[in-house]
Structure formats: C-alpha cells, structure tokens
Structure 1
Amino acid sequence: MVKNLNVARMRYRLEFGIDESTGKKNPNTGKAIKGFNPHFTRYAGLWTLNANQAITLAGANIKEAVVFFIRHDLQITSNYKIRKGDEIFIIDNISYDDGLSTDGFDLITCHREVVKHG
C-alpha cells in the first residue's frame, strides 16, 4: 500500500494500550478508577490527508482526524487506543500493508478522545 516512506519522518513514539483499572478508587463513589495502560510502543510518523480523504472522514463524522504511519505490524488492532504525549486517540481504521516486503507500512486513522466531565 504505502511503500518507500521516509523513515526519518517517524519521529513520534506512540504508546498502544487500553483503559484498565489503575488500582485506585474514587473517594466519592468507591468505584475503581480506569486509566490508559500502555502495552507496547512503536515509532510513527504523521501522514498528510489529501482533500478527498478529509471530506470522506468528515462525512463519517470523524472530526479532528489524524493518520499515523507505522511499520507493518499485525499486533496493532482497533481494540487499542494510542497515546501521543498527553493526548489519547481512538483508532477508527487501520489500513494494513500486505507485509510482503521489508518496507511495508500501515496507516492508522484515529481521532482525539474528548473527555466529557459533568
């Protein structure tokens, strides 16, 4: 799919994980507090969307879309969330490369998770 990308653009270290119990309890309710728990990391770069892709994502109600490219890796599924710095992203789609060559890359389309309080 995406061949011969410049690996020098892979300057972000993404954490892939899921929301799990942090071992802490909410003092007001006594319920367990869930938080992002990283399982593994991968280097990634940002993929620039063309106008057609941006319009398609907007039509699917995916706002603030970001596309990362990583080395081909079938371990990454849409069950994971991504943390980049202080931001958490929800995976919307993964376009896996065929993985037949050593220069295979996958595209991960995601959007920023918005935490609603109150």
Structure 2
Amino acid sequence: MKNINPSRMTFKLEFGQMVSGGTVNPNTGARMKVFKPSFSTFAGQWSLRMSDTLSLAGLGITDAVVFFVRHREDITGDMLIKKDGIIYKINNIAYDDGLPPDGFDLITCTREVSKHG
C-alpha cells in the first residue's frame, strides 16, 4: 500500500501470543492465559470503504478494524495484536511489495472474545 502518510501512525501495536501465565483459575485449576508480546511497532488506523465493509460482512466478519504498519515480514496471521489493553485476532494481512522505505501492510482484525470456564 503506497501513499499513506506516516504522520497518521499515532499509536503502538504489540504483536504476540497467548501463553499460560502464573495465575491459576480457582474454578478449574488450569493456568490462565496472558498476552506475551514479541515486538511492538508504530501503527495507524485505516478507514474501511463501504464496499470493504460489505465484503467482510459477507465473510462473517463484523466489527472489523484495519491497522496499517510499515512492511514487516515477521508479522503473521497466527499472531494476536494488543492495543490499549484490547486483544485483536488477525483475520487478513494485505502485504505490500516490501519495497522500502514506503511500503505498508494492512492488517484486518476483529476483537478477540475472552472465554471463561
């Protein structure tokens, strides 16, 4: 994705995985999962067009948010994203061609639902 103004990158995203933490769930005895960041990077939020919203709705993806970051090959679809204490699941990554210095990736995400029990 070209022609993105880097000054729109106003916050940081943490990329990582959920791992077993030190806290034990008193109801089940299992260790509770916590987010463990691998790295963070500056990002911005991308506005979806109406056609994009309809396409995502057709795939069953509602309440989607799209972030843009500088092109990074180490961002993969099995990672989770944390922003302002909220965990997001990556649904799709539109990788740029990777030509520095103006390559950006678009990451479509949905809010991760916590499961208790």
Common fold: TM-score over 0.5: yes
**Deviation readout 1:30-57 (Å, 9 max, x if unpaired):** 2111111111101100001111100000
Does residue 108 (structure 1) correspond to residue 107 (structure 2)? The answer is yes
Identify unmatched segments of 5+ residues in structure 1: none
Mapped to 1, the partners of 2:29 and 2:89 lie a distance apart of 27
Does residue 75 (structure 1) correspond to residue 74 (structure 2)? The answer is yes
Q: Which amino acid aligns with 1:32?
A: R
TM-score (norm 1): 0.93
Q: Which runs of 4+ in 1 moved over 3 A?
A: none
Q: Which amino acid aligns with 1:100?
A: L
Identify unmatched segments of 5+ residues in structure 2: none
Following superposition of structure 1 onto structure 2, how do residues 1-118 of structure 1 map, counting pairs within 5 Å?
2-117=1-116
Mapped to 2, the partners of 1:24 and 1:117 lie a distance apart of 14
Count of paired positions:
117
Mapped to 1, the partners of 2:11 and 2:90 lie a distance apart of 16
Structure 1 vs Structure 2: percent identity of aligned residues? 53
Q: Aligned-pair distance for 1:114?
A: 2.1
Q: State the secondary structure of the residue aligned to 2:42.
A: strand
Mapped to 2, the partners of 1:57 and 1:29 lie a distance apart of 36
Q: Are residues 117 and 34 of structure 1, via their aligned partners in 2, closer, same or farther at CA, if it must alter by over 3 Å?
A: closer
